[in-house]
Structure 1
Amino acid sequence: MEHKTSYAQASRLKLKTKMGLNGKCVIADNYFTPPFKLMPPFYARDSLAEIMLIAVSPGMLKGDAHEIGIEVGQDCQLKLSSQSFEKVQDTEDGYASRKTHIAIKENALLDFSPLPIIPFANAHFQNHSHIVLHENAQLLYSEIITAGRIAMGESFAFKRLHSTLSISYSKENSEHPLFVDNTLLEPAKMDLKNPCMFGNYTHYLNLVAFTKHLDQDSLLSFLEGFEGQVGVSTLASKLPDGYFSLCLKALACGSEPLLHLRKSISQELLGRL
């Protein structure tokens, strides 16, 4: 298969943080190639750094390959977000891909909430993420997948979307699996409007948390009045006592209810630090 791309090589972004002398999470090292950029850290709280990832492009095209590596340094508190919705254009007879590897070091916390993925008609996107938690590390991670450009009549008109997420716990230089999620959507082969799939909904939130600062009661309070369908499962894990581990999946008819739910959970978590 001919594999064309807008760039001469894979687009790479590397970000490493550490604790600065002022007690704040700062950038220790970073590197990026087009279309990636990084905004300088913003501090709404004393110790929490907020960094925005930027992709200066109209969206991913056939052959585009993103490679992202993030290391959250020991004791750091980092909130990562993206600037805009992730558009995946018509990839013709090829595909676009992204591989992300994240390491959260000892006593660090990462809240990662990229904006929704919008697959255009005939788009094929492969998105694979691996996250490693070290001792006492905490994580709040989510992704939102949409049915496409709904207003353009492209609901479930994409070719294929495959997104995997694996999370492990590093102890004594060995990794122990904690969670694996495999989302495969192929509208031509699946009835995605089946009541057991999306039904009448068009937007899907997948959220995972491994944290010491949330509990079941506070989480359930955010689900009251939610405009859509939502389910929560607590996860049995090999993490030490004191962790609350969960997977939340929600469906809605737009991005806003899911983004609002995600923001509410994040604010509750960060407010307890």
Structure 2
Amino acid sequence: MIGLDAAPELAPYQTQPAQMPAASVGKVGRLRLCFAQRGERTILAHLYRQAPLLVQRALYWDEEMPEMACVYVLTTSGGILQGDRLGIDIELAAGARAHVTTQAATKIQQMDANYGVQTQRVTLAADSYLEYLPEPTIPYRDSRFLTHTELRVDPSATLLYGETLMPGRKYHAGGEIFAYEVFSSTLRAARPQGPELFVEKFLIEPGRHDVARPGVMGGFHVFANVVLMTPPEVATRVFDRTTPTWDDGTPLIAAASRLPNDAGLIYKVLGTESEPVRDAVRAFCAIAREEAVGRAVPRPFAWR
């Protein structure tokens, strides 16, 4: 559980929901996924699930990597509600390959008490490969949300972890842009048995600080953040192939930077609509996959 010492921004939001107290039965979701190599295929070797989080089974729909286990994280609650406390653990054994995503955008529902929390722990053993690329997060009006992610990645493994943050329900009831109260995201990375590599935290409180001001989002609405943890030689090849983008017509801005301690790269994208941002993230991930495992990314599904 994340305490107020680590997240003082949540101190003003300690009132209990009238419907059901925070962290009570039905509001504590747990998900544990353990992937392992079995013959020529990665399998979902262990699965623990507690509603409202749900995973059914591993699928093998990636034509370019048919041995890779693909898993969709589902929710039975229609989003994250006030008082929710969710936890996701993902572990890959040596040589395993997996793709984890969500069935739809994560909706942070409107709140009048307390807040929602999601913690994530991702552990990759030697020579494993994980694409953890959830669909975008949409914070509704008056929502308060904290996410805390811990990555522990072997130096020989590759992790693609991404998050895309929408401004809210942009076209709902005349527009709901930057109308949420708190969005707090912390990412910590380390080696499985080694020192911490880097920490990144961004805290957005639109009611206290203008998110649309120059130097923050400016005229942009959508923000994507992709972390590539991979061996240094792979990171160098990906960096050399990733061209900074400044497109006033779309509009879109994107660029990659090196992470400290030879941890890999971080790729950031700003846009006004979700699809161009999604395309930029997909292009970066395609380069990363090609350089890390020598495979292409399959064509987008027809409904994308």
TM-score, length of structure 1 as denominator length: 0.90
Alpha-carbon distance, 1:202 to partner: 0.7
User: What are the ranges of 5 or more consecutive residues in structure 1 without an aligned counterpart?
Assistant: 240-244
2:228 equivalent to 1:209: yes
* Equivalent in the alignment of 1:63: 83
Check 1:114–1:151 CA distance in 2 against 1; reply closer, same or farther (3 A cut): same
* Equivalent in the alignment of 2:261: 237
Alpha-carbon distance, 1:165 to partner: 0.6
* Equivalent in the alignment of 2:118: 98
2:16 equivalent to 1:2: yes
Check 1:131–1:232 CA distance in 2 against 1; reply closer, same or farther (3 A cut): same
* Equivalent in the alignment of 2:142: 122
1:191 to 203, 206, 210: 210
SS of match in other structure, 2:177? coil
Letter in 2 for 1:216: F
CA RMSD of aligned residues (A): 1.9
**Equivalent runs, 1:1-273 vs 2, <5 Å:** 1-3=15-17, 4-5=21-22, 7-20=25-38, 22-43=39-60, 44=62, 45-152=65-172, 153-170=175-192, 174-212=193-231, 213=234, 214-220=237-243, 223=245, 227-238=251-262, 245-272=264-291, 273=293
Letter in 1 for 2:179: A
Q: 1:76-131: per-residue Cα shift (whole Å, max 9, x none)? A: 11111111000001121210110111111111111111111101000000111001
Q: 1:33-87: per-residue Cα shift (whole Å, max 9, x none)? A: 1122214222222432221111122211110110111111111111111110000
Letter in 2 for 1:129: T
For 2:142 and 2:197, locate their aligned partners in 1 and report how far apart those are by CA, in whole Å.
Answer: 34
User: What are the ranges of 5 or more consecutive residues in structure 2 without an aligned counterpart?
Assistant: 1-14, 294-304
For 2:163 and 2:252, locate their aligned partners in 1 and report how far apart those are by CA, in whole Å.
Answer: 17
* Equivalent in the alignment of 1:242: none
For 1:229 and 1:271, locate their aligned partners in 2 and report how far apart those are by CA, in whole Å.
Answer: 23
Letter in 1 for 2:75: A
Alpha-carbon distance, 1:134 to partner: 1.9
Q: Which moved more, 1:121-130 or 1:261-270?
A: 261-270
For 1:81 and 1:15, locate their aligned partners in 2 and report how far apart those are by CA, in whole Å.
Answer: 12
Corresponding pairs, count: 263
* Equivalent in the alignment of 2:10: none
Alpha-carbon distance, 1:9 to partner: 4.7
Q: Is the 8 A contact 1:60 1:96 kept in 2?
A: yes
Q: Is the 8 A contact 1:71 1:103 kept in 2?
A: yes
TM-score, length of structure 2 as denominator length: 0.81
Alpha-carbon distance, 1:238 to partner: 4.8
For 1:13 and 1:51, locate their aligned partners in 2 and report how far apart those are by CA, in whole Å.
Answer: 12
Alpha-carbon distance, 1:227 to partner: 3.6
SS of match in other structure, 1:130? strand
Check 1:102–1:32 CA distance in 2 against 1; reply closer, same or farther (3 A cut): same
Q: 1:214-270: per-residue Cα shift (whole Å, max 9, x none)? A: 52232228x47574122321123155xxxxx11111110111111111222222333
